Amino acid sequence: MQNKRDAKLDEVADSKWVKKVIKSMIIGIIGFVLIGVALAIFFKISIN
């Protein structure tokens, strides 16, 4: 019975960790896109 409870706790910890990783990945992708857009606008302005 104790082992089952430990396994459950591990699952919860894993899902929290996965959510944290996914959240940081999404934030990174959004930041990357925003930087790309800002650079594209900057280059368009500087070319024109």
Both tokens of 3, joined, read 């082992």
State mean pLDDT over 12-23: 89
Q: Worst-scoring range by mean pLDDT, 17-21, 24-28, 43-47?
A: 43-47
CA distance 13 to 22: 14
19 — pLDDT class (breaks 50, 70, 90): very high
15 — pLDDT class (breaks 50, 70, 90): confident
Both tokens of 16, joined, read 């929290």
Residue 20 pLDDT > 90: yes
